[in-house]
């Protein structure tokens, strides 16, 4: 969730036709698969590098350093890692939300859109929210190719998700809660954007020894603390699931 200032420099790509950019983004969908456990990554393949470069060219006219660019590459590789589907079980998580055809879902901390793109196939509308403009640009480039009409991206601020009053039925936070500043105040502010009876789903890493080491265990938020903070913010706990996922808990709360 940490926002990094990034300036991108791709003058030769900016001279290419739009079809080339879309082709690069399409190649990315075919080659990068699901999120990751954030372990050290192998260098990007030519196809993946090209796809990321073209997504930069579509969305930015700024400049970057080599280090910042590599960092963003690694984050995308982490979020879209093929093994994520096994340990995070996105279909199981989404199934807990119930019928979504008439629901508006906000995915806060959407990153590369791993969950948001899946939700867009089922929900009435999905708002993919992130504070990092690079991820907004990346999701927008994929949205163009996948033609996700019910998928909207929204650039937010650390203390403001930029949602309208009672705009959403469901809020999803995956691997994000830890990074919220002033969590109870954030949850109180967020509650205004959820319809009465709407729900919030928080999925994050258990505070114990697991194969995933990032974030480190000492800074993770234990399940009981998430429950306490939700209650302090005025939510009602519906479910605390510590068993469905091997490495993570799922906390579901309702806005009264």
Mean pLDDT by 10 residues, the chain (256 residues): 36 39 43 38 41 41 52 87 93 97 98 95 96 95 78 96 98 96 97 98 96 93 98 98 97 98
Picking from 79, 100, 130, the residue at the C-terminal end of a domain is 79
SS3 content of the chain, % helix, strand, coil (to 5): 40, 20, 40
Tokens of 227: 């429950």
Does the residue 2 lie in any domain?
A: no
Residues near 250 by beta carbon (within 8 Å), at least 6 away in sequence: 93, 96, 201, 202, 203, 239, 240, 241, 244
Picking from 62, 79, 96, the residue at the C-terminal end of a domain is 79
User: What sign results for the dihedral spanned by CA atoms 238, 241, 245, 251?
Assistant: positive
Give first-to-last CA distance, the chain, whole Å: 28
CA distance 32 to 12: 24
Residues 43 and 106 occupy one common structural domain = no
Picking from 44, 64, 79, the residue at the C-terminal end of a domain is 79
Radius of gyration of the chain (CA): 18
Pairing of the two strands 151-155 and 168-174: unpaired
CA distance 186 to 159: 6
Does the residue 6 lie in any domain?
A: no
CB 149 within 8 A of CB 174: no
Residues 149 and 243 occupy one common structural domain = yes
Overall residue count recorded for the chain in this entry: 256
Q: Supply angle C-alpha 126, 131, 137, rounded to 5.
A: 70
pLDDT at position 3: 38
Residues 98 and 50 occupy one common structural domain = no
* Count of structural domains within the chain: 2
Q: What is the CATH number of the domain that holds 133?
A: 3.40.50.150
Does the residue 7 lie in any domain?
A: no
pLDDT at position 68: 67
Does the residue 181 lie in any domain?
A: yes
Residues 45 and 71 occupy one common structural domain = yes
- Sort residue 166 into left (φ over 0), alpha (ψ -120 to 50) or beta: left
Does the residue 4 lie in any domain?
A: no
Domain limits for position 158? 85-254
Does the residue 3 lie in any domain?
A: no
| b/e code 149-173 from CB counts within 10 Å (16+ = b) | eebbbbebeeeebebeeebbbbbbb
pLDDT at position 26: 44
DSSP 8-state code for residue 217: G
Does the residue 1 lie in any domain?
A: no
pLDDT at position 201: 98
Q: What distances in angstroms separate CA 131 from CA 110, 111, 135, 137, 235, one per listed residue?
A: 9, 9, 8, 11, 24
């Amino acid at each position: 969730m940490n926002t990094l200032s990034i300036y991108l420099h791709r003058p030769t790509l900016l001279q290419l036709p739009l079809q080339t950019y879309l082709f690069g983004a399409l190649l990315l969908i075919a080659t990068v698969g699901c999120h990751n456990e954030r372990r050290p990554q192998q260098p990007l393949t030519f196809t993946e590098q090209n796809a990321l470069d073209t997504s930069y060219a579509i969305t930015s006219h700024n400049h970057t350093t080599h280090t910042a660019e590599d960092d963003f590459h690694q984050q995308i590789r982490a979020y879209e890692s093929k093994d994520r589907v096994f340990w995070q079980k996105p279909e199981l998580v989404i199934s807990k939300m119930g019928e979504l055809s008439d629901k508006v879902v906000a995915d806060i901390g959407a990153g590369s859109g791993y969950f948001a793109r899946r939700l867009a196939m089922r929900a009435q509308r999905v708002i993919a929210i992130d504070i990092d403009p690079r991820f907004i640009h990346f999701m927008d480039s994929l949205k163009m190719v996948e033609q996700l009409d019910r998928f909207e991206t929204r650039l937010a601020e650390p203390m403001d998700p930029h949602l309208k009053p009672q705009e959403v039925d469901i809020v999803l936070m995956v691997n994000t809660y830890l990074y919220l500043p002033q969590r109870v105040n954030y949850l109180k502010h967020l509650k205004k954007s959820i319809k009465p009876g709407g729900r919030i789903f928080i999925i994050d890493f258990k505070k114990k020894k697991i194969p995933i080491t990032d974030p480190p265990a000492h800074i993770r938020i234990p399940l009981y603390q998430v429950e306490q903070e939700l209650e302090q913010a005025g939510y009602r706990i519906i479910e605390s699931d510590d068993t469905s996922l091997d490495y993570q808990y799922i906390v579901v709360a309702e806005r009264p």
